Amino acid sequence: MKIMFLYIILLSSLLLSQSRSIIYNNGDPDGEAGHSIYWDGEQGNSASNKFTVTDDYVLEAFSIWASLSSSFGSLRVVLQNNNNDSPGEELGQWSITLDGLIPSREYFVLTTGECIFLDRNESYWLTVHADNENTEATWLFSPQSFYSYSTSQDYGNTWSTTLSGQAGAGTIAGEKIFYNDISPNTGDVNFDSVVNVLDAVSIVQYILDNVEYSNDQLLAADLNGDQTINVLDVVGVVSSILNGPEEMSQWLLEDLNPNSSFFGQMIGPETFSNEVSIYYFGKQG
């Protein structure tokens, strides 16, 4: 029985995982031109893309398109706060070793280990420097010319005024943060905005003294409001589940499946309203 419970919990956690959102994507380059990236110890050239987020996110990954002119080299990519419309405080940095065998390619970096939070309606900068004096590279241009960027000749000590044009090509992805209001007597003890078998199992474990609850969880677990967590509350959770699912939440995320007829579009449950009876949205990556 315990193995079955663990299996249910594992399966449910996979199905309920949040979906990755594309925060910024200016397209794949359509040529070899781009921002020259180099540093000779005294002067050089760096470039930075400005982007704004519309919700709260945790940075999950980013990619840049680059080519290498020297025999070998690496880039230093820095995420920075916005400071008076210029790159400001550093939030994180990563080194990318460039591949000299492939003229140009997309370099992908996973950032989940850093837990970098991006705040709603705030602007940020993704900056690319040469990682050493031996690197001569190109941050390939975006195909369109209406993106905000800035350049620096002194390794980021000072920056040009924000320009509009072809920025460095790349993508930034994050996990959207969902906030749950704590509602009493709902049975939603894990605060994932849905009452399901995970909540029922959790309440049983609490009754058996296998887990401890916070005050907020005690409030949510007391379905009948009798100030006691017992089998009656478990029955209430089961009844809630059997009486049918709650109304599906509405959201929009970019379709990243190149084989989908909705590829590149923002879709969600409402897209398929009255057309299908079951929705499954998988997480890429």
pLDDT of residue 195: 84
Say if 266 falls within a structural domain: no
187, 149: one domain: no
5-24, pLDDT tens digit by residue?
A: 433 443 344 334 444 589 99
Nearest CA-CA partner of 207 in 174, 233, 237: 233
CA 263, chain centre distance (Å):
19
Let me know whether 189 and 141 are in one domain.
no
Q: Which of 176, 195, 221 is at the close of a domain?
A: 176
Asked if residue 150 and residue 42 are part of one domain, the reply reads yes
Same domain for 37 and 159, yes or no, is yes
Q: By three-state DSSP, how is residue 165 classified?
A: strand
Question: 236: phi > 0 → left, psi -120 to 50 → alpha, else beta; which?
Answer: alpha
Q: Please indicate, yes or no, if residue 190 is contained in any of the structural domains.
A: yes
Q: Which residues contact 170 (CB under 8 A, 6 or more apart)?
A: 24, 25, 26, 49, 62, 63, 64, 65, 106, 126
Six-digit token pair at 272? 């398929």
Give the residue ranges of the chain where pLDDT is below 50. Answer: 1-19, 285
Per-residue pLDDT, 26: 96
- Position 141 in a domain: yes
Whole-number Å distance between alpha carbons of 126 and 9: 38
> What CATH number should be reported for the domain holding residue 136?
2.60.120
In CATH, what number is assigned to the domain containing residue 235? 1.10.1330.10
* 199 lies in the same domain as 74: no
pLDDT in tens, 110-142: 998 888 999 999 999 999 999 999 999 999 999
Domain boundary among 207, 222, 242: 242
Residue 102 lies in a domain: yes
In a domain, 259, yes or no: no
Range(s) of the domain holding residue 93: 20-176
Q: Is residue 143 part of a domain?
A: yes
Supply the pLDDT for residue 8. Answer: 42
**Whether 224 and 102 share a structural domain:** no
CA 130 to CA 67: how far, in whole Å?
A: 12
Number of domains in the chain: 2
Angle at 92 between CA 40 and CA 69, to 5 degrees: 35
Dihedral sign from CA coordinates of 271, 276, 278, 283: negative
- Judge if 228 and 201 occupy the same domain: yes
Is 172 a domain residue?
Answer: yes
- Does residue 256 fall inside a structural domain? no
Among the listed residues 96, 108, 45, 98, the one whose alpha carbon sits nearest the alpha carbon of residue 67? 98
